[in-house]
Structure formats: C-alpha cells, structure tokens
Amino acid sequence: MIIAVASGKGGTGKTTVATNLALVLSWEREIQFLDCDVEEPNAHLFLKPALESAEPVPIPVPQVDLERCTYCGICADVCAFNAIMVGQETVLVFEPLCHGCGGCAYFCPEKAIKEIDRPIGVIERGDAGEISFVHGKLNPGEALSPPLISAVKKTINPAALTIIDASPGASCPVVEAIRGSDYCLLVTEPTPFGLNDLTIAVELLKKLHLPGGVVINRSLGGEGEASIEEYCRREGVPILLKMPWDRELASLYARGEAAVEHLPAWRRLFTGLADRILEEKKEDR
C-alpha cells in the first residue's frame, strides 16, 4: 500500500503528519518513507536517518552537431518549452527549460542532435531505525522537479507500506508525487486560506481518481473549522483526525522531535489515524 500525504498550501503540518504516521506504522510492519518534497526536503530532520548512499539524477538534454545541422528549425518547432532556438548559423539550447522529452533528437532529419545527461539533483538513501528512508534533493536553481520525484518513486519497495511526503500545493510536483498511490491524506488548517486550498487539492484527487481523507491541524473549533467540516460533508471526504493546538507539540517540532516518541496522547492519536486509513482503504476495495 502507498499512502501519500499532501496539502493544498504550505505550513499546514504535512511533514509532521507524514513522519509521525510512519513511525507508528513502523512499530507493527515494514515501512518505507519517501520524501518527495525535493525542493525543500525536511522529513530527515524528524526521522534522523543514517544516510548511506547518494545517487545523482540526470535528465537528457540536446547537444547539436553544427557540422551536420542544416538549421531547418524542426527541433525548435517541436519543442513545447522553447528550450531550442535556431538562427541562420547557430542553434542555442537553453538547458534549464528542457524537459528531456527527446522530441528534438527524434524529429531531427539530419540526426544532428544527440542527448547528454545534465544532473538536476540527487537521491539519498538510508535507514531511520526500522524505516527505510529515501529522499530527493533538487540542485539549487533548478526549476524542474518532477523527473527527480519520479526517480525517487522508482525506489518504492512493493513489499513495504510506503509513505510519500509530497510538496505543498497542487501543481505538477504534487501530481507526480501522489499519482499511483492507494490513498492520500490532505492536511489542512481551519482558516479561509486552508479551506480555499483544500478545495483545490480535493479536486486534484478527483481528477486522479484517488481516494483520500482530511486531517485538520491546529484544531480550535470555531467558524473556520465548521466551514471545513461542512465542505467535507458536502464532498463526501472523511475527516480522519483533528489535531488540537498544542504548545508541547510545537516545542517538539522546533527541536526536530517526533511527537509519538515523546507524548502518549499523540501516540494514540496517530495510531488511531493509521487504523482509520487502513479501514477506509479496506472499505474502498
């Protein structure tokens, strides 16, 4: 089973939920944790894995042989991302714009284009106690994260229950991270911004035909929380957990400590969340 943890906006507590959930599940079964928030991975701060290996991840980019090129411009025409510009006597390749699709090389009538690897980041692996840990780290200045996220997901162990920590939002990196999952947790907060971005995230799950549930963090009751509850009832999305505002939890977070390893009350909350997810998935089948 693959459980993705996402959020419509940043700062909702997505990584807090993902790491604590992974820890309680690891007490009873084999768990793999993938941090696919490759632009700013931070799950390692809480799980504290002993990272043992690092593997560079490249994407193929075009290299043009100007001696064979006739400057016909077909390569530029087929590039949807404007990564190639053909002049009268030169061809410019803008590598940061290239998505590595290979279309330019495939359609070049003179076979004047070959592809070379350009590193965009690394995958690091290790163990965090009983948890098998993998995360991706995008190189500074890189804008193209989905290929690195895809490379991280290729390490999925089908024999383990896998937790995927996605990046915030609902753009291409999130789609790449959560698609193919069996269940998706959406972590939100009881604010107008939280509700607005939750609606976007729920629509994304619908388009991906992905079952999911909601976790409300910093729960205090009130109008904002009631609005989220009403929206979830209307959309048929279950609220699996309400995480109360807790100064002690915030203090642990600031020190990079997992709540379930220190606070029995939070251990019970996340054990209950794990049970709810597994039960929801069983009913979905």
Please name the fold of domain 2-57+120-284. Answer: Rossmann fold (3.40.50)
| Residue-wise DSSP of 34-87 | EE--TTS--THHHH--EEEEEEEEEEEEEEE-TTT-----HHHHH-TT--EEE-
Tokens read off for 48: 């504290």
| Residue-wise DSSP of 162-211 | EEEEPPSSSSHHHHHHHTT-SEEEEEE-SSHHHHHHHHHHHHHHHHTT--
- Confidence grade of residue 200 (pLDDT, cut at 50, 70, 90): very high
- 133: nearest Cα among 31, 33, 278, 280: 33
* Torsion angle defined by CA atoms of residues 88, 90, 95 and 100, in that order, rounded to the nearest 10 degrees: 70
- Confidence grade of residue 281 (pLDDT, cut at 50, 70, 90): low
Token look-up 């998706």 returns 184
* Span 66-111 CATH architecture: 2-Layer Sandwich (3.30)
Rounded to the nearest 10 degrees, the angle between the axes of helix 264-284 and helix 14-26 is 90
Tokens read off for 130: 């009983």
User: Rounded to whole angstroms, what are the CA distances from 56 to 31, 121, 124, 146, 175?
Assistant: 24, 6, 9, 15, 23
Strand partners of residue 63: 114
The model's pTM? 0.91
Question: What confidence tens digit (pLDDT) does each residue in 162-182 have?
Answer: 999 999 999 999 999 999 999
Query: 285 pLDDT exceeds 60?
Result: no
Q: What ranges do the domains of the chain cover?
A: 2-57+120-284, 66-111
- Confidence grade of residue 280 (pLDDT, cut at 50, 70, 90): confident
Average pLDDT for 237-247: 94
- 6: nearest Cα among 192, 177, 137, 225: 177
Query: 273 pLDDT exceeds 80?
Result: yes
Question: What confidence tens digit (pLDDT) does each residue in 58-68 have?
Answer: 999 999 999 99
**pLDDT (0 to 100) of residue 282:** 65
**pLDDT (0 to 100) of residue 279:** 84
Contact 145, 152 (CB under 8 A): no
- Confidence grade of residue 8 (pLDDT, cut at 50, 70, 90): confident
**pLDDT (0 to 100) of residue 284:** 62
User: Rounded to whole angstroms, what are the CA distances from 60 to 63, 92, 136?
Assistant: 10, 16, 18
